[in-house]
Amino acid sequence: MITIIDLEFLGHQNTIGSFLIETLDGPLLIETGPHSTLPVLEAGIEKAGYKLKDIRHVFLSHIHLDHAGAAWVFAQHGATVYLHPLGQRHMADPSRLLASAKMIYKEDMDRLWGTLKPIPADQLRVVKDGETVQVGDVGLRGVYTPGHAVHHIAWAMGKTLFTGDVAGVKIGSGIVVPPCPPPDINVEDWVASIGLIKKGGFEELYLTHFGKVTNVSEHLQELETRLHDWANWMKPYWEKGADPKEVTPLFQTYVQQQLIAGGIEGEDLARYEGANPSWMSVAGLMRYWRKKEG
């Protein structure tokens, strides 16, 4: 059984989720969310009938703080953390990751994300592309899915795929948007990963932002279309050397117009911004064009 635990990020529902799966060898967890939402995650685990220390296996889609920020706490209780090999060193020594985040978020760091602590190397288990990790009667197959991040790995359980960020952000009945923060956005790799998922025959996707999607083909096509749309919107600004500070409010307005046109209003606009801050996509897509054509 899959339990979606809503982490109530910034007080909003349906923004960041973790997934608890019961097995014959105890529960496993996919995504921990940030350290700042740990009390909510722990309450959700307890509501499912378990204690935090009962989670012996934690699977991460990638090492961004909204997905992996609380993994170290589970490791302190003895859990093994499964992840992409390119994320291993940052979890073993998160000093650079933490310093980079503090530069970006400054005094908001603790409120948004909390902190990071090292995870012992012998508790970090890198997973190869296509490798299946068996926990009791449940097998999770790692699917390398770069594009949002080079260290991105989705987790397949039969016809179900836990997608991290590769399948985008979709809250409620809203539109699908691609989170494009720096430094690793690569549109071509992302489109290839979307194609890989399309060919996988998956019947349902579980999005960290947020929840279950069953219209898989339509969802992925909408994501791919909007990814190209956002990247192409940004390209002329990069070509003329525009200051990202000047571009940011223009792009924020563009995204908000798309959300409103898609029927998003009120608190749902804040949910989308919390799950996928549009200002971060300016930096990410500008960097993408610089690396591609600079």
Which residue's entry shows tokens 């978020």?
105
State residue 103's pLDDT score: 82
Per-position b or e across 15-43, b if 16+ CB within 10 A of its CB = bbbbbbbbbeeebbbbbbbbbbbbebbbe
- Residue 93 CB-density burial (10 A; 0-12 exposed, 13-18 middle, 19+ buried): middle
State residue 20's pLDDT score: 98
State residue 154's pLDDT score: 98
pTM of the model as a whole: 0.96
The per-residue pLDDT string of the chain (294 residues; one tens digit each, 9 = 90 and over) reads 899 999 999 999 999 999 999 999 999 999 999 999 999 999 999 999 999 999 999 999 999 999 999 999 999 999 999 999 999 999 999 999 888 888 888 888 889 899 999 999 999 999 999 999 999 999 999 999 999 999 999 999 999 999 999 999 999 889 999 999 998 999 999 999 999 999 999 999 999 999 999 999 999 999 999 999 999 999 999 999 999 999 999 999 999 999 999 999 888 998 998 899 999 999 999 999 999 886
State residue 69's pLDDT score: 96
Q: Strands (DSSP E) along 168-221, which ranges?
A: 204-207, 211-213
* Pairing between β-strand 2-6 and β-strand 132-135 as defined by DSSP bridges: unpaired
- First CA to last CA across the chain, in angstroms? 48
Q: Where are the domains of the chain?
A: 2-293
Place domain 2-293 in its CATH homologous superfamily: Ribonuclease Z/Hydroxyacylglutathione hydrolase-like (3.60.15.10)
Residue type at position 262: G
State residue 294's pLDDT score: 66
Question: Residue 213: left if φ>0, alpha if ψ -120 to 50, beta else—which one?
Answer: beta
